Amino acid sequence: MFWRKKHNPQAAAGQRTDKLSSSESEHQNMTNPPTRDPSAPTAKFAIGSGGRGAVSEIDDFMAGLKRRNPHEQEFHQAVFEFVETVMPFYLDNHRYRDARLLERMTEPDRVIMFRVVWEDDNGIPHANKGYRVQFNSALGPYKGGLRFNPSVTLSILKFLGFEQTFKNSLTRLPMGGGKGGSNFNPKGRSDLEIMRFCHSMMSELYRHIGEVVDVPAGDIGVGGREIGYLFGKYKQLANRYTGVLTGKGLAFGGSEIRKEATGYGAVVFAEDMLQHHNKTIKDKTVVVSGAGNVALYALERAMQLGAKVVAVSDSRGFAHVKDGFNEDSFRILQNVKEVRRESLSVFANKAHGVTYHAGKSPWAVPCQVGLPCATQNEIDESMADTMCRNGLEVLAEGANMPLTAEAIHVLKHNNVLFGPAKAANAGGVGVSGLEQAQNAMRLVWTRDQVEKELERIMRSIHTQCVEYAPVVNGVADYQTGANVASFVRVGEAMLAHGYI
Among 281, 279, 202, 197, residue whose Cα is nearest residue 234? 202
SS3 (DSSP) at 124: coil
Question: Which of 421, 452, 487 corresponds to the end of one domain?
Answer: 421
Q: Is 196 found in the same domain as 232?
A: yes
Q: What is the pLDDT of residue 23?
A: 41
Residue 494 lies in a domain: no
The neighbouring-strand residues paired with 142 are 214
The conformation of residue 72, written as its DSSP 8-state character, comes to -
For residue range 204-217, what is the model confidence (pLDDT) as tens digits?
Answer: 999 999 999 999 99
Phi/psi of residue 49, each to 5°?
A: -85, -15
Q: Is 226 found in the same domain as 137?
A: yes
Q: Is 315 found in the same domain as 185?
A: no
Q: What is the pLDDT of residue 24?
A: 42
The neighbouring-strand residues paired with 186 are none
Distance CA 450, CA 444 (A): 10
429 CB-near residues (< 8 Å, 6+ apart): 143, 144, 164, 167, 168, 171, 175, 217
Q: What is the pLDDT of residue 50?
A: 35
Residue 477 lies in a domain: no
Residue 84 lies in a domain: yes
Q: Is 205 found in the same domain as 237?
A: yes
Q: Is 230 found in the same domain as 379?
A: no
Q: What is the pLDDT of residue 29?
A: 42
Domain that holds residue 95: 9-105
* Amino acid in position 488: V
Residue 490 lies in a domain: no
Beta strand 125-136 with 475-476: parallel, antiparallel or unpaired?
A: unpaired
Residue 101 lies in a domain: yes
Per-position DSSP letters for 320-373, written without gaps between them? EETT---HHHHHHHHIIIIIS---HHHHHHHSTTEEEEET--GGGS--SEEEE-
Enter the pTM of the model: 0.88
221 CB-near residues (< 8 Å, 6+ apart): 147, 148, 149, 181, 184, 185, 186, 187
Determine the distance from the C-alpha atom of residue 254 to the mean position of all C-alpha atoms in its chain, rounded to a whole number: 22
Residue 489 lies in a domain: no
The residue ranges of the chain whose pLDDT is under 70 are 1-54
* CATH number of the structural domain spanning residue 309: 3.40.50.720
Q: What is the pLDDT of residue 56?
A: 84
* Structural domains of the chain, count: 3
Question: Which of 55, 89, 105 corresponds to the end of one domain?
Answer: 105
Q: What is the pLDDT of residue 419?
A: 98
Cβ–Cβ under 8 Å, residues 406 and 430? no
Question: Which of 377, 404, 421 corresponds to the end of one domain?
Answer: 421
* CATH number of the structural domain spanning residue 116: 3.40.50.10860
Q: Is 131 found in the same domain as 27?
A: no
Among 132, 138, 219, 139, residue whose Cα is nearest residue 178? 132
Distance CA 281, CA 283 (A): 6
Q: Is 414 found in the same domain as 327?
A: yes
Q: Is 390 found in the same domain as 304?
A: yes
Q: Is 346 found in the same domain as 270?
A: yes
Q: What is the pLDDT of residue 232?
A: 98
Q: Is 348 found in the same domain as 322?
A: yes
Given 66, 158, 179, 422, the catalytic residue:
179
324 CB-near residues (< 8 Å, 6+ apart): 285, 308, 309, 310
Q: Is 278 found in the same domain as 137?
A: no
Residue 469 lies in a domain: no
Q: Is 145 found in the same domain as 82?
A: no
SS3 (DSSP) at 398: coil
Q: Is 279 a catalytic residue?
A: no
Residue 496 lies in a domain: no
Q: What is the pLDDT of residue 38?
A: 33
